[in-house]
């Protein structure tokens, strides 16, 4: 009689690359020994959100894999694959709540298309128009000169640069600067 293969397969966590950025909120997935589920719960509570089942499910998909840029549609597809019975409207609402609570940062790349970034620190992005993906521009190599004065009673809240990419067929890469302000 042969012994049953009881040796457990341990989850491989080598996909997690610790990326230390000074103003980036540290995430427990960078220390694989901690429990990501309780980390998501703590994260929600700290942001003032009750950890409902739906928020926990989407928070797990969003925050347990390191820095990510996802659209509502992408997250909805992931939820379906994870057998989470969520509607697209719920995904939209939850992403909006997470953004308002400061857990996500919105990155608008073209028209109505919005990505949600789990890295809420100020940084800039490449947008690949070929495959519609958003990635961080590494380091802080971008300096924006000639910013206008904010209108009276307003201040510049942040400046976000999106460098749009397409295949190099001789066409130039277009750069768009998007700033947002609050009073
Ligand atoms: Zn980003």
Q: Are residues 97 and 166 in the same domain?
A: no
Q: How far, in Å, from the CA of 135 to the mean position of ligand 1? A: 6
Q: Could you tell me which residue, 2 or 176, shows the higher pLDDT?
A: 176
The pTM for the full model equals 0.69
At residue 151, the 3 state secondary structure works out as coil
Q: How far, in Å, from the CA of 67 to the mean position of ligand 1? A: 7
Instruction: List, in sequence order, every beta strand (DSSP E) within 31-104.
Output: 69-70
Please check the confidence at residue 18 and state whether its pLDDT lies above 50: no
Residue 16 lies in a domain: no
Q: Are residues 71 and 52 in the same domain?
A: yes
Please check the confidence at residue 28 and state whether its pLDDT lies above 60: no
Q: How many CB atoms lie within 10 A of CB 133?
A: 15
Q: How far, in Å, from the CA of 2 to the mean position of ligand 1? A: 51
Average pLDDT value for the chain: 80
Max CA pair span of the chain: 83
Q: Are residues 88 and 40 in the same domain?
A: yes
Q: Are residues 113 and 38 in the same domain?
A: yes
Q: Are residues 36 and 100 in the same domain?
A: yes
Residue 12 lies in a domain: no
Distances (CA, A) of 50 to 29, 41, 84: 21, 8, 18
Q: Are residues 75 and 34 in the same domain?
A: yes
The domain containing residue 64 runs over which residues? 29-118
Q: How far, in Å, from the CA of 16 to the mean position of ligand 1? A: 16
What pLDDT, on the 0 to 100 scale, is given for residue 74?
A: 94
Q: How far, in Å, from the CA of 117 to the mean position of ligand 1? A: 5
Q: How many CB atoms lie within 10 A of CB 3?
A: 6
Q: Could you tell me which residue, 21 or 52, shows the higher pLDDT?
A: 52
Q: How far, in Å, from the CA of 123 to the mean position of ligand 1? A: 6
Q: Name residues whose C-beta falls within 8 Å of residue 30's C-beta, 6 or more positions apart in sequence.
A: 16, 18, 66
DSSP 8-state assignment for residue 33: T
Residue 13 lies in a domain: no
Please check the confidence at residue 149 and state whether its pLDDT lies above 60: yes
Q: What is the pLDDT of residues 90-146, one digit of tens each?
A: 999 999 999 999 999 999 887 778 999 999 988 899 999 888 899 998 776 788 888
Q: Are residues 133 and 55 in the same domain?
A: no
What pLDDT, on the 0 to 100 scale, is given for residue 65?
A: 83
What pLDDT, on the 0 to 100 scale, is given for residue 174?
A: 60
Lowest mean pLDDT among 65-74, 108-117, 174-183: 174-183
Domain count, the chain: 2
What pLDDT, on the 0 to 100 scale, is given for residue 7?
A: 46
Q: How far, in Å, from the CA of 49 to the mean position of ligand 1? A: 23
Q: Are residues 34 and 113 in the same domain?
A: yes
Please check the confidence at residue 63 and state whether its pLDDT lies above 80: yes
Q: What is the DSSP string of 84-148?
A: ----HHHHHHHHHHHHHTTS-EEEEEETTEEEEES--SS--EEEETTTTEEEEPSTT------PP
What pLDDT, on the 0 to 100 scale, is given for residue 14?
A: 45
Please check the confidence at residue 16 and state whether its pLDDT lies above 50: no
Q: What angle do CA 61, 105, 57 make, to 5 degrees?
A: 20
Residues 79, 91 contacting (CB under 8 angstroms): yes
Percentage of residues in the chain having pLDDT higher than 90: 47
Q: How many CB atoms lie within 10 A of CB 121?
A: 13
Q: How far, in Å, from the CA of 143 to the mean position of ligand 1? A: 17
Q: Are residues 41 and 97 in the same domain?
A: yes
Q: How far, in Å, from the CA of 144 to the mean position of ligand 1? A: 18
Q: How far, in Å, from the CA of 42 to the mean position of ligand 1? A: 22
What pLDDT, on the 0 to 100 scale, is given for residue 78?
A: 95
Q: How far, in Å, from the CA of 46 to the mean position of ligand 1? A: 22
At residue 29, the 3 state secondary structure works out as helix
The CATH number that applies at residue 47 is 1.10.10.10
Stretch 54-59: mean pLDDT: 95
Q: How far, in Å, from the CA of 6 to the mean position of ligand 1? A: 41
Q: How far, in Å, from the CA of 65 to the mean position of ligand 1? A: 14
């Amino acid at each position: 009689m042969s012994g049953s293969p009881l040796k457990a397969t341990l989850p491989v966590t080598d996909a997690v690359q610790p990326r230390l950025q000074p103003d980036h909120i540290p995430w427990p997935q960078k220390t694989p020994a901690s429990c990501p589920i309780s980390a998501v719960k703590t994260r929600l509570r700290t942001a003032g959100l009750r950890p409902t089942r739906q928020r926990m499910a989407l928070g797990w998909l969003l925050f347990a894999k390191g820095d990510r840029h996802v659209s509502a549609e992408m997250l909805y597809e992931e939820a379906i694959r994870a057998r989470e019975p969520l509607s697209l409207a719920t995904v939209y609402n939850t992403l909006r709540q997470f953004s308002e609570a400061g857990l996500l940062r919105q990155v608008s790349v073209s028209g109505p298309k919005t990505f949600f970034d789990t890295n809420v620190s100020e940084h800039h992005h490449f947008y690949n128009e070929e495959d519609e993906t958003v990635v961080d521009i590494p380091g802080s190599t971008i300096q924006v000169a000639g910013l206008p004065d904010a209108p009276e009673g307003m201040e510049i809240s942040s400046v976000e640069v999106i460098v749009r990419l397409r295949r190099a067929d001789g066409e130039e890469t277009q750069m768009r600067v998007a700033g947002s302000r609050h009073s």
